[in-house]
Amino acid sequence: MAGGFRVTLHERVSTSTTATGSADRSWRFWWTLPIYPYSQRRTIRREIEPDTIWTFEQVQGIFYVVVPIRMTVVKLAGGGLLVYAPVAPTGECLALVNELVALHGDVKYIILPTISGLEHKVFVGPFARQFPQAQVWITPDQWSFPVNLPLSWLGFPRDRTQILPADSSQTPFGDEFDYAILDTIDLGPGQFAEVAFFHRRSRTLLVTDTIVSLPVTPPTILELEPYPLLFHARDRASDPIVDTPAQRLTGWQRICLFSLYFQPSVLEIRNWGQTLRDALTAPERGKSDYFGIYPFDWQNGWHQKFVELQGNGRLVVAPILQTLILNRAPEQTLAWADRVAQWHFERIIPCHFEAPIATTPQAFRSAFSFLEDQPTPLKSPAADTQLLRQIDRQLVRWRIINAAKYKT
């Protein structure tokens, strides 16, 4: 841990006795982004800094490749709360937020720190409607596809939504937070941008998607509904789904490989003919099992591949960002990383995977060394990013995205 820094977590899982599927966990706008767990989302609250910082975790994913999605709530020195990257405002989530409101004051500011992360953007409008006194501050250059729509059409409150200025001192929370905007990276039909927030008093850095760290064991929020872990713990479709601690661990580590590499080199994808034949004899063929469809064959060595990726919890930039996004603007990205690394933070809270992460500004900056003209262990292995690089070449060939650039 950096500089002897320690963190104690106080976890608050809803004590409601209502069964899963209750209105407390219902997200009725799930169809705006129809991904797992669809209309039912559990929430866990953790206290990161006593009476100062809390995280709220839910899950999201496709084909049971599920990972945590996280919002962070910070108590302001003068009372009230700042919310960074809202999650689905279910009844359960709002009850946990309102417990803090009762103790520390109203939600004053809601921050949307990205322009491309639909899994973050989709919750801001509904969350803001639950706290009508809150100001909404959003990253510049918001966009929508296929047509750019007015902000109010995207669900942002018309009369209380403002654009984050380049200078954080111009905001009403600038006396407590610094922030740095990774200026918009043009990808062709879309753009990418992210805003990192630094809470000076707690020495905490808040980021959205640029940095992650992988825990060895499954996050608690996934343990509450472990079926996705068990689904991916199988080596092939013919294996039964069995719930044991070892299977949960295996499933989580494979989900990490899926999430970051899409198709790691230790995973063989079966052709559809064989996949459908396997589905007919699979022991699990219900609707929740995708009718037995499981087109994966895990090869020997997959665990070592996870160990290499996890790297004892090191900070890493997700391979999809390395391969398809940040390499479109290396100098711009490195300048942003340099600016963030000037702050004296001791921990990072990202919106996905592990949090909080005890670290240093130097470790943060080193995670972006893959953009520099030097060998680095943080650059994703070529064999594991083959599919991502194929996607990159095809999108460039079709002129859907711009070609990658290189630091000069």
* pLDDT at residue 184 tops 90: no
pLDDT above 70 covers a percentage of the chain that reads 88
Q: What is the pLDDT of residues 256-287, one digit of tens each?
A: 999 999 888 888 888 888 888 878 888 887 88
Mean pLDDT over 90-109 rounds to: 98
Phi, psi of 362 (to 5 degrees): -65, -40
Q: What is the pLDDT of residues 372-392, one digit of tens each?
A: 865 454 566 677 677 777 777
Q: Is the peptide bond before 37 cis (omega within 30 degrees of 0)?
A: yes
Q: Write down the pLDDT at residue 14.
A: 47
- Output 281 or 161, whichever has higher pLDDT: 161
